Chain A
Amino acid sequence: MTCAIDKILSQRKILITCGTGGVGKTTISAALAIRATLLGKKTAVITIDPAKRLATSLGLQTLGDHPTDLTDTIHQSYANWKLNHLPSSEDANLGKKRGSLVAITPHTRHSFENFVRELATHPATVERILRNPIFQIFSREFSGTNEYMALERLFSLEKQGQYDCIILDTPPSRNTLAFLDAPKLLAQFFEERLIRWLILPTNKLVSAGMRKTLGMLEKLTGAGFMTSLVDFATALFEVQVKFQANLKKVTALLGSQQVGFLMVSTLTPDSKAEVEHFIQSLKNHHFHLDGLLINRTLSYLKESKQDSSYPTAHRLIQALQAQEKEVLTNLMQNPIPVCATLPELARDVHSVEDLIHVAMALGETPFGTLPLGEHSPSERPHPSK
């Protein structure tokens, strides 16, 4: 029997995990990558999280721009896990074929420079862009850069063809959509017509209105900024055709059958609105939603027969469980494909061995999402029981 998540892993070459901060995206991405490895895939997991959570959860000090090979650790840890656990029928496919795993945390600034080098044909243009003060700040601070560079990295990894499964953990953001909007945001910067206005000599500006506007802008920002801006725009103009072409390729990749999106969410009163909003946005972008991963659930915690030594905490957990149930019921009013419900952990994840536990939980049948009959088969990639 193949579980929902393994089906998705076998159908897609690229999986992108999205979700707001604190839902456990990075841990789940790592666990997904481990599962893919155990299914025999040549796997890469990419994370842009600056907080080094991926490294910590893998039991490493740091991870870098160069792929770190974790293959041996994964297989060793799985072997250890099997010493004490019996794989369920869902996990029967695991470990049959030896897959591999690398982890990558791209250095954004570095990638952005490489990106410019790749775009520009003349070395002089590269230097001109890199030395421009606006670019220097832009590459550090533009809020869409991390997201866009993650996509660029994804695209080039896909092109290399070394991996048959790539998991991309999107950067933390307060809303799940920031990632989807990043390419569009960056594209605005490269809008040809607007750059053209900036690089025309003032005396050639056809419209008096534009001349006036630039004058006002200069008054607000000072002359130095305008010089840098014009210089930056001139350099951008040289690379913009290539950028647009690149963007088209990246966007096409995201919309292709190779790529699936997974949303990670917890069950809080805000979840329903967030999940529905995200699903709608994916539809608008014509991207494929493969499912919802519900994380940090408490419902699996069973009460013991004796009186609790911690009555207040006990009541708190019960209240949280009740809230969770209510949120889940509300969430399930619309057909949403839930591919896994994962337990809240009793401690942080510190090693690949810990992650194996999470990877195994990914294979379990999600609870509380029945009745299945209400979901159309195309929308719910869940195995029939």
Chain B
Amino acid sequence: MVSLVQSTDLSFVLRRNLLFVHGKGGVGKTVVSQTIATALSRQNLKTLWITLEDPTCPMGELRLLSPSLWHLNCGFLPAFEEYLTLKIGGGPMSRFFLQNKLIRYLAKAAPGIHELILLGKIWFERLHYSHLVIDLPSTGYSLAMFQSTQNFSQLFQGGPLNQDAQAMLTTFKDPQTTGHLILALPEEMPLKEALELHGYLTPLFPDNPPAFLVNRVFPTEENHPKPILWTTPLATSMEDYIHKRIWLEDQNLKIWKDQNLKFGKLDFIPPQVKPNHSSGILEVLIQQLHDRAYL
């Protein structure tokens, strides 16, 4: 049976020059994108992990995290300045333009410009690294990033902004350079939402189908029977919760398997003891990427 949903093998997508990590809020995009970036950098590949406007990090600062691994928290204003410097030259001219209140107003208020500039920064950085892994904002906003770049650039007919936007989108559509990864959780609604997201991405990148990765898969056991009592959505005990959770996850993922949908899996990693909380999880996940031949 051929799957109705076009998807690509995870191992192909993860090795592309640009990797966009899509998904709804709370599915673990930040940790997974950092894991992939770290794993790539350990293969001696110069890698940049990008977060977009993360309020907990300084904007526009490039940090070396470990050998071959850099992190950039892309911010609008630094990226906008950089873009203008490229287009109209550095020095007093671009500073004058940037400081103009009307320009600041348009940059803030006009939909699309913000997104265009952030994506432009990513596009530009691709030339300096062998791999870029991008932790996108949650679904609604990240879709708008691509859609509005496409739509808004049509307004700039004839200008260099339009040309750059078109060139960017060509790169993002190209399966040779760019990979799109949809991250999901093995629960009913998140899985449905991942397919919905796929539906929105397809018209944007028709020849570049995404790969799916299901995160936080519960440790399963062989041959567990179907739980009997389902009258309340609450669990009656820890055993009941685990039993139902495992069974439901299996059912949910079975729907994907029955559709011949290709997807990778990462286990639910128990929270680790401080102080190495996050690095501990990262190491376990990197090991899983290797063991399952995703990377």
Residues of A within 8 A of B (CB): 20-23, 50-51, 53, 56, 84, 133-134, 137-138, 140-143, 171-175, 185, 188-189, 191, 194, 197-198, 209-210, 212-214, 216-225, 228-229, 269, 273, 298, 301-304, 308-310, 312-317, 319-320, 322-323, 343-349, 354, 357-358, 361
Are B244 and A224 within 8 A (Cβ)? no
Q: Check if B257 is an interface residue, CB within 8 A of chain A.
A: no
Contact of A348 with B239 at beta-carbon distance under 8 Å, contacts A21-B25, A143-B144, A225-B159 already known: no
Residues of B within 8 A of A273 (CB): 56
Q: Which of B239-295 contact A (CB under 8 A)?
A: 239-246, 248, 268, 270-271, 277
B88 within 8 A of A: yes
Nearest 9 CB-CB pairs, A to B? A21-B25, A22-B26, A222-B159, A319-B270, A222-B158, A312-B219, A346-B235, A301-B238, A142-B111
* B159 touches which of A220, A315, A322 (Cβ 8 Å): A220
CB distance from B106 to the nearest CB of A (A): 8
Bitwise, B84-100 to A at CB < 8 A (1) or not (0) is 00011000000011001
- Given A21-B24, A220-B87, A346-B241: A209 and B156 interface contact (C-beta under 8 Å): no
Shortest distance in angstroms between B275's beta carbon and chain A's nearest beta carbon? 12
A303 touches B237 (CB 8 A): yes
Contacts of B66 in A (CB 8 A): none
Chain B residues, CB < 8 A from A322: 271
A348-B244 in contact given A138-B111, A220-B159, A301-B238 (Cβ < 8 Å): no
Q: Which residues on the B side are within 8 Å of A346 (C-beta)?
A: 233-235, 240-241, 244-245
Contacts of A212 in B (CB 8 A): 96
Are B237 and A174 interface neighbours, CB within 8 A?
Answer: no
Closest CB of chain B to A362's CB: distance in Å? 13
Q: Within the assembled complex, what's the spacing in Å between the Cα atoms of A140 and B147?
A: 10
Interface of A, secondary structure class, is: helix
B157 within 8 A of A: yes
Known: A142-B111, A209-B96, A222-B156. A308 touches B244 (CB 8 A): no
Instruction: Tell me if B160 counts as interface (CB < 8 A to partner A).
Output: yes
Q: Which of B103, B241, B248 contacts A301 (CB 8 A)?
A: B241
Contact present for B224 and A309 (CB under 8 Å): yes
Flag if B237 contacts A301 (CB, 8 Å). Answer: yes
Contacting residues, chain B, for A310 (C-beta < 8 A)? 219, 221, 224, 239, 242-243, 246
- Are the C-beta atoms of B158 and A224 separated by less than 8 Å? yes
| A137 and B158 contact, CB distance less than 8 A | no
A238 to chain B, nearest CB (A): 17
| B196 contacts across to A, CB distance below 8 A | 51
Count chain B CB atoms within 10 A of each CB in A23, A219, A229, A310 and give the residue with the most: A310
Q: How far is the CA of A273 from the CA of B57 in the complex (A)?
A: 13
Our pick among B141, B156, B188 for the contact of A174 (Cβ within 8 Å) is B141
In the assembled complex, the Cα of A221 lies from the Cα of B110 at a distance in Å of 13
Closest residue on chain B to residue A307 by CB atoms = B239
Return the contact of A225 from the options B157, B193, B246 (Cβ within 8 A): B157
**Quick check: B246 and A313 within 8 Å, CB to CB?**
yes
Tell me the smallest distance from the CB of A101 to a CB of chain B, in Å: 19
The listed residue (B100, B111, B157) touching A222 by CB distance below 8 A is B157
Which residues on the A side are within 8 Å of B42 (C-beta)?
none
Complex CA–CA separation, A172 to B144 (angstroms)? 13
Cross-chain contact of A348 among B25, B140, B188, B224 (Cβ < 8 A) = B188
A189 surroundings in chain B (CB, below 8 A): 109
Give the Cβ gap from B218 to chain A, nearest Cβ, in Å.
Answer: 6
A223–B157 Cα distance when bound, in Å, is 8
**Cα distance A313–B235 when bound, in Å?**
15
Q: Which of A185, A308, A358 contacts B242 (CB 8 A)?
A: A308
B240 to chain A, nearest CB (A): 7
On whether the beta carbons of B140 and A171 are closer than 8 Å, the reply is: yes
- The smallest beta-carbon distance between A9 and chain B, in angstroms, is 22
Provide 10 A-B residue pairs closer than 8 Å at the C-beta atoms, listed in order of the A residue: A22-B24, A134-B155, A138-B111, A209-B100, A214-B102, A220-B88, A225-B157, A310-B242, A316-B218, A344-B235
**What mask results when residues 7 to 48 of chain B are scored 1 for a CB within 8 Å of chain A, else 0?**
000000000000000001111000000000000000000000
Interface residues of B in 110-141 (CB under 8 A from A): 110-112, 114, 137-141
Q: How far is the CA of A66 from the CA of B148 in the complex (A)?
A: 28
B100 touches A348 (CB 8 A): no
Contacts of B230 in A (CB 8 A): 347
Q: How far is the CB of B182 from chain A (nearest CB, A)?
A: 14
A220-B238 contact given A175-B55, A310-B221, A319-B270, CB 8 Å threshold? no
Complex contact A315–B270 (CB within 8 A): yes
Find chain A residues with CB under 8 A from B112 CB. 137, 141
On whether the beta carbons of B109 and A185 are closer than 8 Å, the reply is yes
List residues of chain A with CB within 8 A of the CB of B101.
194
A228 touches B155 (CB 8 A): yes
Bound form: Cα–Cα A323–B110 in Å: 43
Q: Specify which chain A residues have a CB less than 8 angstroms from the CB of B138 in the assembled complex.
A: 21, 172-174
Q: Could you say which residues of chain A place their CB within 8 Å of the CB of B105?
A: 188, 191, 194
Given contacts A141-B148, A224-B157, A319-B270, contact A210 B102 (CB under 8 A): yes
